[in-house]
């Protein structure tokens, strides 16, 4: 066995348990949106298997990164590395790719001791234990929505090693115990934190990509099955609220945030690709118009930020 310090990302597909237990009634739109057109295969377990295959494809791509190791456990996975920054980049890529694939996931990420065997049976796959893995699993349950919750140690590991235009981590109060839990704002970094340009970040394109995710969660038929059950609706609403609130990082001239209070009860409406495309066309036009205008005075922006911080 070997033991070392490193970072662990635990990611879990939301809602699979309810699906396999038959608690969610699927429609033909659900099946077709995920490429299941044959009525012979339109059953809950085949649908769940389709989601797991998509999940696995994303993990296989992530495994090509030599800095990380990956192990899938049915509808969840561990990804780990001795190097925190490459692990954070892979966690960010994982969330972007899964969301674009129509899979609602949530994660926990932590730094600490990792224990793994020197050799494993490749046919059975890798496994790990240790403080970081345990913390990552516990952190994943810290809130709702497609988010990544972090321990306190990980942000300090990247502090001072790289500069950012906006912080990758933010502290949030956990409504379950009123304690502050750090959150990795993966949705602000479409290229990961290693490729983040501190000097001249492309805020326009980052904002457009962010709102594409919001449009997917809000209107894509791939997430219809999530919206049509109470637990999934709450997860979707929380995810949309969190991601859309990130739009204010890129511009203060557009209010693109959706509150979960508004979303609950409305996430089943307009759930089709036509509505998604139309909404994205409007947002893209508005975003392009904002970034064509003259940039506001930087000193004024700093003053506003200080005022908001107080």
pLDDT digits (tens, 9 = 90+) for 170-214: 998 766 677 888 999 999 999 999 988 888 889 999 999 999 999
Give me the sign of the Cα torsion angle 138, 141, 145, 151: negative
Six token digits for residue 13: 């597909």
Show the low-confidence residues of the chain (pLDDT under 70).
119-125, 174-176, 293-310
Q: 57-71: per-residue pLDDT in tens?
A: 999 999 999 999 999
Report pLDDT for 301. 44
* Residue 106 β-bridge partners: 12
Ordered structural domains, the chain, with CATH:
2-188 (3.30.70.1230), 203-309 (no CATH)
Quote the distance between the C-alpha of residue 281 and its chain's center.
Answer: 23
Six token digits for residue 160: 């001072």
| 70-103 burial: b if 16+ Cβ within 10 Å, else e | bbbeebbbbbbbeebbbbbbbbbbbbbbbbebbb
């Amino acid at each position: 066995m070997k033991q070392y310090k490193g970072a662990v990302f635990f990611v879990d597909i939301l809602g699979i348990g309810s699906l396999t237990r038959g608690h969610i009634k699927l429609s033909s739109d659900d099946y077709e949106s995920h490429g299941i057109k044959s009525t012979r295969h339109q059953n809950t377990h085949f649908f769940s298997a389709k989601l797991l295959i998509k999940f696995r494809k994303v993990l296989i791509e992530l495994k090509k990164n030599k800095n990380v190791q990956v192990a899938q456990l049915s509808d969840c996975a561990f990804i780990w590395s001795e190097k925190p920054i490459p692990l954070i980049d892979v966690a960010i890529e994982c969330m972007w790719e899964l969301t674009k694939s129509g899979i609602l996931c949530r994660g926990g990420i932590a730094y600490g001791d990792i224990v793994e065997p020197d050799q494993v049976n490749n046919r059975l796959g890798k496994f790990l234990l240790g403080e970081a893995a345990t913390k990552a699993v516990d952190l994943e349950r810290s809130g709702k929505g497609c988010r990544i919750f972090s321990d306190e140690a990980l942000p300090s590991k990247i502090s001072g090693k790289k500069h950012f235009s906006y912080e990758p981590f933010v502290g949030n109060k956990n409504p379950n115990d009123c304690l502050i839990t750090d959150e990795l704002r993966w949705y602000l970094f479409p290229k990961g934190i290693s490729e983040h340009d501190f000097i001249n970040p492309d805020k326009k394109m980052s904002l457009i990509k962010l709102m594409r995710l919001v449009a997917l969660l809000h209107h894509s038929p791939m997430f219809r099955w999530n919206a049509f059950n109470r637990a999934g609706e709450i997860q979707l609403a929380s995810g949309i609220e969190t991601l859309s609130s990130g739009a204010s990082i890129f511009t203060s001239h557009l209010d693109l945030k959706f509150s979960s209070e508004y979303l609950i009860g409305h996430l089943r409406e307009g759930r089709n690709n036509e509505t998604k495309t139309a909404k994205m066309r409007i947002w893209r036009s508005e975003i392009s118009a904002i970034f064509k205008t003259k940039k506001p005075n930087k000193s004024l922006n700093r003053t506003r930020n200080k005022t908001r911080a107080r």
